[in-house]
Amino acid sequence: MGILEGKVAIVTGSGRGLGRGVAIALAKEGAAVTVLGRTEKFISKTVSEINSMGCRAMGMQCDVTERENVDKVVAATVETFGDIDILVNNAHDIPHGIHFEAFPEEELRKCVNSGLYGMFNFMLACLPSLKKTKGKIINVLSMDCLEGHNGFGFYPATKMAIRALVKVAANEWAKYGITVNGYMPIGAGESLADWKKYYPDQYEAATSQIALGHWGDPITEIGGLVVCMASDFFSYVTGTTEIFVDGGMRKSWIVK
């Protein structure tokens, strides 16, 4: 029996990448997981992987920026699995190779809407359920909001806003028994491959700064941390935003 047996989780942006790893890790520990994304083939593959392990999952396409869409996902999850215990806000469009002075307004809106508004929509939509379960909200942050690396545009600014709202929600929703935390991962997902393509020098410099010598495995290392955060072992932790899952990479590795 896993440490999350009987729990119900929603993981946004979990068709592939680190979100996929988190969804699989939660399911392996007993949670029923709703897998969300925009691309049906990725969602179906992740759900199939989870089901093939004898674990429970269902998949839905979801535009996190549309509150009506989000409400449908939450209602379907509750109807299928029961009230929600765990919400992982992972979905976020990440721009690559766009410098500040050239950042188009369309990309700015996409970045803010997918990350900040997506998180906001799911937190509010899940709140009635989370009140009943005294649930856990886990928001994915980024070391980019601390370093401001080249070419990421307004992504770090959006992550910083999410970081601030983690603390606000943690304070305001503590009365319901809900905990709200954030973590900063570096892992071997698809966005890492994109970053390597656009900024090979930064990629090599960053890799050389990882004390453990490798990028985090999405399931065992990134997902493993989220399992702990979603469990009772984290019941007295809330409002924390500097949980680094980075293999010991704590230096500024920016390449000019």
The CA distance from 113 to 161, in Å, is: 12
List the catalytic residue out of 155, 183, 199, 203: 155
The CA distance from 112 to 215, in Å, is: 26
Q: Is 155 a catalytic residue?
A: yes
In the numeric block, the tokens 């955060």 are attached to: 229
How many CB atoms are closer than 10 A to CB 101? 5
Structure tokens at 172: 């305001």
Q: What type of residue sits at position 5? A: E
E strands within the chain? Answer: 8-11, 32-37, 57-61, 86-89, 136-140, 179-185, 243-245
For the annotated catalytic residues, the residue numbers are 155
